Amino acid sequence: MDRIIQSPGKYIQGADVINRLGEYLKPLAETLVSGG
């Protein structure tokens, strides 16, 4: 189980979370690409 704290940044903790970083970074990348 991953723990995510967002205040105002984002802190993610969990076993092997480094392997799932794309899941958390994809929404940020989509926002940047779309200019939002």
The domain spans of the chain are 3-34
pLDDT of residue 19: 94
Give one word for 13, left, alpha or beta, with left for phi > 0 and alpha for psi -120 to 50: beta
Please count the other Cβ atoms lying within 10 Å of the Cβ belonging to residue 16: 7
Q: What is the pLDDT of residues 1-36, one digit of tens each?
A: 888 777 767 788 899 999 998 988 898 888 888 876
The amino acid sitting at 1 is: M
User: Would you state the pLDDT for residue 36?
Assistant: 63
Per-residue pLDDT at 31: 83
pTM of the model as a whole: 0.50
Q: For residues 18 and 27, what is the distance between their CA atoms, to the nearest angstrom?
A: 16
Amino acid at residue number 18: I
Residues 10 and 24 sit within 8 Å (Cβ to Cβ): yes
